[in-house]
Copies of this chain bind each other. A is one copy, B any other.
Amino acid sequence: MAIIESIPNISEGRRADVIDALADAVASTPGVRLLDRSSDASHNRTVFTLAGPPAAVREATLTLYARAIDAIDLRQHHGEHPRLGAVDVVPFVPIEGVTMADCVTLAREVAAEVGARFSLPVYLYEEAATDPARRNLEDIRRGEFEGLAEKMARPGWAPDAGPAVPHPRAGATVIGARMPLIAYNINLASDRLDVAKRIAAAVRHSSGGLRYVKALGVMLDDRRIVQVSMNLTNHEKTPLPRVFEFVKREAARYGVGILESQIVGLVPQAALLAAAEYYLQIEGFTPTLVLENRLRDGG
C-alpha cells in the first residue's frame, strides 16, 4: 500500500478553536489519518502529522491551505519561531510503497495547485528544490513574513509557483519532500555536560561527523544525567545502529556508558528493522520476511 506522510507547520498555536477546526478538516479527509498534533503557544505554531495514500494526502493538504488562509492573518501573528506564511512549511515523506521521486512529484503538483488556486507564492525545498540555494528551509525563511516583498523582488528569489508578490494575509509557503526525520536521544550514565557536548560535536555532520546527524549535548536537570540529543535526517544512509555504536564508542573514551536511548515521536518501521538486521547480522534481509508486512502487501 502506498503511504505518504506529511507534517504541515501552521502559524497558529494559541487559538484552540482555529486549531481544532484545522485538525478536523485534515482528519475528516477520506483515507487520511491524523497521527499527531502538537501546538506551542510561545512559538504560536502547530505541527500536524498526517498520513495516507498520495491522493488523499494531497486532498487533505489543499483543504488545510484553504482553511488556514481563511483563518490566519500573518499581519497579526507573533511568536518565537521564524515563519513566512500562514501555512509555513509542508514536507512530504515517503513511508511505504512510494519513492522519494513520488514525494517530489506530489510536492510539485501541490505547489502548482496552491499557487494557482490561492494566489500564494510557493518555494520548493529539500529534495523538491529547483535550485540548490533553496534546499535548506532556513535559507528560504530568512527575512520571514515581514521581509517577503523585498526578498521576492531580489534576483534568484522568484517563487517556484504562484505570484511573485506575497499574499497579503498568508505571506508565502514552502513545500517539499524529504526523508522521515527521527528524533533520537541517547542518555549517558554521567552528569558530565562536557562529555555530552564533545560526543555531539563528534557525531554531528556540521562539525565533521556523520552525514545525516544533527546533535547537541544537553543536561537533563531533573535526572542529573546528560544526553546527546539528535535528529537523524536520513536513516537509510546514516542508520540508527551506526549512530548508536558511534556514540557508545565515543562515550567509552571518557569511561562513560550508555544508560538508554529514546525515540521521540514516531519512527519508520524500516529504521528499527535495520537495527535488527545490523546486530543480528541477518543475511538477505527484506521487509517481506516480516509476517505483518506480508499480510498487508497488496491488501
Closest Cβ–Cβ distance, residue A171 to chain B (whole Å): 30
Closest Cβ–Cβ distance, residue A5 to chain B (whole Å): 7
Closest Cβ–Cβ distance, residue A232 to chain B (whole Å): 12
Of B35, B280, B284, which is within 8 A of A244 by CB? Answer: B280
Closest residue of chain B to A277, judged by CB? Answer: B272
Identical subunits present: 2
A241 within 8 A of B: yes
Tell me whether chain A's interface is mostly helix, strand or loop, or mixed. mixed
Contact B95 A292 (CB under 8 A): yes
Closest residue of chain B to A275, judged by CB? Answer: B276
**Total A residues in contact with B, Cβ cutoff 8 Å:** 43
A289 within 8 A of B: yes
Of B283, B291, B296, which is within 8 A of A268 by CB? Answer: B291
Taking beta carbons and an 8 Å cutoff, which residues of A are in contact with B? 3, 5, 33, 35, 51, 95-96, 180, 187, 240-241, 244, 258-263, 266-269, 272-273, 275-276, 278-285, 289-296, 299
A-B contact pairs, 14 of them (CB 8 A): A3-B292, A3-B295, A51-B291, A95-B291, A241-B279, A244-B279, A244-B281, A262-B283, A263-B289, A269-B293, A272-B272, A275-B275, A275-B280, A276-B276
